[in-house]
Amino acid sequence: MKRERKILPYTNKFGDVINPGDTVYAITTCTKQTCINKGEYIGYVERDGYDYKTKSYVKMPFVQVKVPAERTEYFDTLKNKKYDWAGYTKEYFAEHVERRDIAYDRITTLQYNNILPSNTSVETLAKAV
């Protein structure tokens, strides 16, 4: 089910009001690793989430942030098109295929809504992590 993004301000757990278009730090955690990305707050989607206080599922906002990212593509210089990987030898790959790193903007939905304004203090940033 596709959710509709609401382009509205969001108030984080520290009381900071963050408006769409503001530069923020997005803090994510996964497999015991923490990552801090600088990006742009673009709004939030509403969906069911588990509220540990009421021990039930309720509609809640999940913020979305646009962060710069990079993906790798391989380009076949002989055929002048994207490399398709099927049926080629290692020798052909080594001679006629070049690696290209392509920058793009990735939109991510944050499970824990952990965003801070980019001008936040180091102390507040440390508390959020």
**Residue 78 included in any domain:** no
Of 74-78, 81-85, 120-124, least confident by mean pLDDT is 81-85
Answer yes or no: is 29 within a domain: yes
Write out the residue range of the structural domain in which residue 47 sits.
10-68+105-128
Global confidence as pTM: 0.78
CATH number (domain holding residue 63): 2.30.30
Read off the pLDDT of residues 41-67 as tens digits, 9 standing for 90 and up: 999 999 988 888 899 999 999 999 999
Is residue 102 within 8 Å of 71, Cβ to Cβ? yes
Give the chain's domain count.
1
Cα gap 45→55, rounded to integer Å: 21
Give residue 125's pLDDT: 84
Residue 120, in any domain of the structure? yes
Closest CA to 122 of 22, 40, 36: 36
Cα 64 to Cα 45: distance, rounded to the nearest angstrom: 7
List pLDDT tens digits, range 3-26. 899 999 999 999 999 999 999 999
In this structure, is residue 60 part of a structural domain?
yes
Is residue 93 within a helix (H) or strand (E), and if so which, with residue range?
helix 90-96
Residue 37 domain-assigned?
Answer: yes
